[in-house]
Structures are given as C-alpha cells and as structure tokens.
Structure 1
Amino acid sequence: MCRRQQKAMNTCMKQYATQDEQDSAREEWFATMDKRREEREQKEAKKKIDEVFWREWWAKDPNEKPGQTGKGGP
C-alpha cells in the first residue's frame, strides 16, 4: 500500500471510527501479521530463485544448439 493512502486511511479511522472499530482493526492487523510475514518471505525466496534463473539464462551461449550439454564432452 502506498504511504500516502495509508496515512489518509489512518487519519480517517482516527476521525470517524468508534473505539470498537479501531480495536477490531488493530486485532485484525495483529492476527494477520504472521501471514503477511510469511508472504514476504515467500516473495523474497521466489525473487532469489528468479534472479538465479535469469542470470543463467542470460549467460547462455547464443550459438549453442538445444540439447548440447555445453563446453567439452562428446
């Protein structure tokens, strides 16, 4: 979420929400904190895997035919 929109939402909550609504929102935020952390970790892991893939992809020899095992060998 963009910082500006988050600040606008928080300002609106402080101005118009009842204490029960604020407590409910806080409770929901803390309840889903672990889920958000896991999603962030999964996204980082995928990013690292993708980075390795693309490094290998761009390091390929363009003259190599599909099925060749690379340098050397029979």
Structure 2
Amino acid sequence: MNVSHPSVHPIEAAPLPPVDGRVVVPPRVRMKVFQGMPGTIDRLSLWFCQFAYVVVSLAVMASTSDFPSVTAFW
C-alpha cells in the first residue's frame, strides 16, 4: 500500500505567482503539538515520572546488602 499517495494524504497545489511582480509570502506552517514535546506540561510530567522512577530504583538498589560489592556501581 502506497501511503504517500495523494488520495490518502491530499495536499494543496502551490498558488501561481502573481503576474504584476508582487512577492507573495506563504502562511507559516506550525508544528503539531504532541505528547512529550519540549515546553509542554506533558513533557514536564514525563520528566518528573522518569525522575521518580530513578529515585525509587536507586533507593531499592542501595537498600540491598550487596550494593557496595557490585562492581557496576563503584
């Protein structure tokens, strides 16, 4: 299946330049806001969840009796 076919994702044709020589500035294209995008509340909440997971993981590892003897953590 060709997903980039125009019938699947229709696009508009570019307008023809004006005949009298004027410069036409096209409208700016804005990016879509998606979950986890920098500068959003979602990104902050995902970062906080990741930080909390790291803190809990380190606390569990540090509470074991053989934590200082494992060479990966030296």
More helix by share: 1
**Structure number, greater radius of gyration:** 2
TM-score by length of 2: 0.40
Which structure is higher in RCO with an 8 Å CA cutoff and minimum separation 6? Answer: 1
